Amino acid sequence: MTDLDRSFWHAMNRRAQDSDYNDSSDEHGVDNDFPPPVLRKGEIVKAWDQLFNNDLHTSDHLLFCSRNTGVDLSALHPNQAQIFKLWQIYLENVDPLLKITHTPTLQARIIDAASDVRRISPTLEALMFSIYCMAVFSLNQDECLIMFGTPREDIIRRYQLGAKEALLNCGFLKTSDRDCLTALHLYLISLKPDIDPRSLSSILGATMRIAQRMGIDTESVNAKHPVLEAELRRRLWWSLVLFETRISEMTEFKTAMLIPTWDCKVPLNVNDFYLRAEMKNVPKVHGQPSEVLFVVMRSEIGDFVRHLYSHLDFINPILKSLGSRAPYDPDTESIQLGALEAMIEGNLLRSCDPDNPLHYMTMWTARFALAKSRFVHHLATCSPTNEQQTDAQRDAGLTYARSMLEYDTKLMSSSLIRGFRWIIYPHFPFPAYVHLIHDLRKRPLGDHVEKFWQVISDNCAARFMDLEREDKPMEKKPGSNHFFKIFSSFVLEAWAAREAAFGQSEEPPLMVKQIKQKLALADERSQAEAAALENANPVSDSNQFHPPEPMDFGNFGAMYGMAGDLLTDASGATQAPLGFSANQWGWPAPNWNSISGQGW
């Protein structure tokens, strides 16, 4: 296999296709005739086509090619009280995680603009509409109804229309204005749940080209600007890169911009208060956590990862010559990852207060990202050309996958960071599920089994427990969902292997039971639709199965490149803890009925 053939698809499927995984019996002497489930890129592409192939999800408006000439932007602004309310929501839920606007200077401009929305400059107007979009985007349906008396979908569509028109008024494609680029970035984040990621990736390519033309990726250009402007440019570049990389991971990982071809510095760990427009000297960085803690953490990890051979191996192996200066050695890179973990824990997380929402968010997001980096390193170094993995190597990969699920559960189960969940939703750790389930299928018995099923169940419960259903376009799409089928096949085959190992059927975990119920319901719906077409009679709305909007799977690349949903109908199965044989599995029951959440 050449370097250019390397992909996450191949790495993820390697374990399933290895000779030891094709053996008909495992180390416990249990017959295992179940063929290993394999992720195929063609199936994912087909699923994307199916999911977004209707007029509810057209991406044409992403090209900004159709002006709405009858739109009066001043009429799309909320009233003055709501402007300030949306601004406050943005400051609480969005700003701490991005820090791409400077509160001390922008707040005064917004207060002034709110006094007369007909006299706002085009750039500030675009930024304000994008802030409205992100504020609503961070809320759930109930919060929108309580605060604004309007369904979430209606209010965010209104502000997205305003943002689009305002960006056109700015001439955003030829802009050199940082505020305009910031507005475009926020607008695209708010669009993500309803847009085919392949389409979004294309417009993000243009966005990154705008940023590069402005030079915000180049430190020598940033350094020529005043301290405040230079710092905001760095924050914006890093936010763009991390978002663009996430979207690239869902489509074609090899296009990601988290690579060593640019030299923008990591943002400073200083509060906005210490950055003033008139200052000439860079403020001192203190050891205590600042309000930019989360941004600095993500940037530090991203800056390290973009130079790793194991990361570049899956993006563009040619760039490895620009990565680490030392000759590549898997053990050396593992040591470097250990040093990164020690630095993040010692310099950024040691002083964090777990009762502080931003600190809690930073702690567990950092640990998730570090476990992910270890996991990617494991995939890259255990290639098909290597000898069969040792027990230590296999256990290490499983440990990283399990840690990803555990850390994600920490994030999703905490009510402390409810307002921050909008940025957590897209990072559903699907590759960790695949890795663990491959092992559960191969080794259905053993000391590890109970723990792995527990971790998987806990994460499902945390991910899908409290997400409210919303009136989303995806929920109106009839028919079955291919992503759900892909995911369910992995889970059900692992459970079937366990039952075969015991030689008898067991009471399955609620997760398995509900997956079976949803597959049966989708099949019934498909048969009903076919019958309705034959009879030329529409199926009654009361019997329709509406899969909600998918939860994105994974934080890695084209190997996962998937959004998916473990979803349900309105019937809602009984949620009660179940027991397994002689073992008491006190698992919380996931509410599959609520997976739509915020559209992530």
pLDDT at 66: 60
Statement: residue 596 has pLDDT above 70: no
Q: How confident is residue 588, by pLDDT bands cut at 50, 70 and 90?
A: very low
| Structure-block tokens of residue 234 | 């760095």
Q: In whole angstroms, give the CA distance from residue 40 to residue 292.
A: 40
Statement: residue 377 has pLDDT above 50: yes
Sign of CA dihedral 525, 531, 536, 537: negative
Statement: residue 306 has pLDDT above 90: yes
Statement: residue 584 has pLDDT above 50: no
pLDDT in tens, 529-574: 778 877 765 544 444 433 333 333 333 333 333 333 333 332 333 3
**In a 3-state reduction of DSSP, which class is residue 583?**
strand
| Structure-block tokens of residue 151 | 């369904």
Counting residues of the chain whose pLDDT is more than 90, the rounded percentage is: 48
pLDDT at 446: 82
H-type alpha helices, 293-329? 293-305, 309-315
End-to-end CA distance of the chain: 35
**In a 3-state reduction of DSSP, which class is residue 8?**
helix
Q: How confident is residue 489, by pLDDT bands cut at 50, 70 and 90?
A: confident
Residue 439 vs residue 560, higher pLDDT: 439
Sign of CA dihedral 290, 420, 303, 103: negative
* Residue recorded with tokens 């400051």: 91
Statement: residue 152 has pLDDT above 80: yes
Statement: residue 242 has pLDDT above 70: yes
Statement: residue 15 has pLDDT above 80: no
pLDDT at 191: 92
Q: In whole angstroms, give the CA distance from residue 8 to residue 11.
A: 5
Summarize the confidence of residues 277-281 as an average pLDDT: 91
Q: How confident is residue 25, by pLDDT bands cut at 50, 70 and 90?
A: very low
For the chain, the maximum distance between any two Cα atoms, rounded to a whole number of angstroms, is: 77
Torsion on CA atoms 90, 94, 100, 103, rounded to nearest 10: 40
> Would you kindly state where each structural domain of the chain is located, as residue ranges?
3-7+19-36+461-594, 58-286, 287-427
Statement: residue 227 has pLDDT above 50: yes
Statement: residue 166 has pLDDT above 60: yes
pLDDT at 491: 87
Residue type, 435: H
pLDDT at 127: 99
pLDDT at 545: 38
Summarize the confidence of residues 11-26 as an average pLDDT: 50
- Comparing 144-158, 405-419, 456-470, which segment has the lowest mean pLDDT? 456-470
H-type alpha helices, 344-446? 357-381, 391-412, 421-424, 430-442
Highest mean pLDDT among 9-23, 276-290, 309-323: 276-290
Residue type, 347: N
Q: In whole angstroms, give the CA distance from residue 289 to residue 271.
A: 9
Long-range CB pairs of 353-357 (<8 Å, 24+ gap) are 355/416, 357/416, 357/417, 357/419, 357/420
pLDDT at 427: 87
The DSSP output letter for 344 is I
Residue type, 314: F
Q: Are 429 and 554 in contact (CB under 8 A)?
A: yes
Distances (CA, A) of 68 to 71, 78, 164: 6, 19, 10
pLDDT in tens, 388-432: 778 888 899 999 999 999 999 999 999 999 999 999 998 888 889
Query: Nearest 5 degrees, angle CA 294-CA 193-CA 183?
Result: 60
**In a 3-state reduction of DSSP, which class is residue 600?**
coil
* Residue recorded with tokens 């390697």: 14
pLDDT at 217: 98
pLDDT at 276: 94
Q: In whole angstroms, give the CA distance from residue 275 to residue 562.
A: 40
Beta bridge partners of 563: 552
Q: In whole angstroms, give the CA distance from residue 289 to residue 284.
A: 13
Counting residues of the chain whose pLDDT is more than 70, the rounded percentage is: 72
pTM above 0.85, yes or no: no
pLDDT at 215: 98
pLDDT in tens, 84-132: 999 999 999 999 999 999 999 999 999 999 999 999 999 999 999 999 9
Residue 450 vs residue 262, higher pLDDT: 262
